[in-house]
C-alpha cells in the first residue's frame, strides 16, 4: 500500500535529479512485519557506509565514516542523513558524476531487525536519541545501540555493538567481508562494470 506523505522524502528528492541518476525516486510504503535494515558501502567524496533502518515506510539513514564494528569496545560515528525511500535498500550501482553522492554504491549487508525497546515505537526511540536493535543480517548480527550525542557535527550519533554471542573483538567485519551481499562484487567491480555500460 502506498501512502501519500511525499514531504517525508522531500530532502532526498530535492538533492537528486531522477533523469540523471538510477537511484530510486521511491514511494512511501506501509511497514513490513519484519522491518528491513541495509548497510551500503558508498564511495562518494569519501568512502563511507550508510546504515539504514526501515521506519514508517521509509529508511532512516546514518553515514558511518568508518563503518560498523563487531567490537563492543569500539564506538563508531554515525551522522544522521536524509530519509531514503524503502526501494533504496536494493540499490547498487554508480551515481553518475555531477549528481549528489556521485560514485559507486554497494549493498554491503541486508536483513531484518527487531526494535529491542518495543513496545516503544522506533520513531520515538529516534526522537529520544536511543535506539537498540537486534540485526539479522548476512554479516551483522545481534544487538547494536545507536546513541545520539551532543558532539559536533550536529546529528552525530554513535553506533556500538552490544555484548552478545555475536560480539567479536578480534576481527574487522568490513575488512574481512568487503563484497556485496547481492552480487558478491567489490566496489571497484561495481564502478568499472556500471561505467562500462555507458
Ligand atoms: Mn552515502
Whether the Cβ atoms of residue 183 and residue 177 lie closer than 8 Å to each other: no
Question: What confidence tens digit (pLDDT) does each residue in 58-88 have?
Answer: 999 999 999 999 999 999 999 999 999 999 9
Q: Calculate how far, in angstroms, residue 83's C-alpha sits from the geometric centre of ligand 1.
A: 12
Question: What confidence tens digit (pLDDT) does each residue in 88-135 have?
Answer: 999 999 999 999 999 999 999 999 999 999 999 999 999 999 999 999
Element (H, E) at 143: strand 141-148
pTM comes to 0.89
Q: Calculate how far, in angstroms, residue 119's C-alpha sits from the geometric centre of ligand 1.
A: 31
Compute the average pLDDT of residues 164-191: 96
Whether the Cβ atoms of residue 83 and residue 112 lie closer than 8 Å to each other: no
Give the separation between CA 126 and CA 15, rounded to whole angstroms: 23
pLDDT at 2: 46
Give the separation between CA 6 and CA 9, rounded to whole angstroms: 6
Q: Who's near 15: CB < 8 A, 6+ residues apart?
A: 82, 100, 101
Q: Calculate how far, in angstroms, residue 49's C-alpha sits from the geometric centre of ligand 1.
A: 6
Q: Calculate how far, in angstroms, residue 197's C-alpha sits from the geometric centre of ligand 1.
A: 22
Amino acid at each position: 500500500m502506498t501512502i501519500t506523505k511525499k514531504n517525508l522524502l522531500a530532502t532526498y528528492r530535492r538533492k537528486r535529479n531522477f533523469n540523471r541518476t538510477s537511484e530510486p525516486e521511491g514511494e512511501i510504503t506501509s511497514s513490513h512485519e519484519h522491518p528491513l535494515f541495509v548497510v551500503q558501502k558508498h564511495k562518494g567524496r569519501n568512502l563511507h557506509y550508510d546504515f539504514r533502518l526501515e521506519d514508517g515506510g521509509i529508511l532512516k539513514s546514518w553515514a558511518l565514516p568508518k563503518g560498523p564494528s563487531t567490537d563492543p569496545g569500539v564506538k563508531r560515528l554515525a551522522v544522521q542523513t536524509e530519509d531514503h525511500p524503502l526501494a533504496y535498500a536494493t540499490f547498487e550501482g554508480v551515481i553518475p558524476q555531477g549528481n549528489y553522492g556521485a560514485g559507486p554504491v554497494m549493498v554491503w549487508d541486508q536483513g531484518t531487525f527487531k526494535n529491542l525497546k518495543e513496545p516503544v515505537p522506533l520513531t520515538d526511540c529516534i526522537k529520544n536519541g536511543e535506539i537498540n536493535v537486534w540485526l539479522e543480517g548476512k554479516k551483522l548480527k545481534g544487538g547494536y545501540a545507536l546513541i545520539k550525542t551532543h558532539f559536533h557535527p550536529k546529528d552525530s550519533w554513535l553506533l556500538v555493538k552490544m555484548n552478545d554471542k555475536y560480539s567479536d573483538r578480534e576481527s574487522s567485519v568490513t575488512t574481512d567481508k568487503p563484497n556485496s551481499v547481492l552480487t558478491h562484487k567489490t566496489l571497484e567491480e561495481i564502478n568499472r562494470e556500471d561505467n562500462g555500460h555507458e
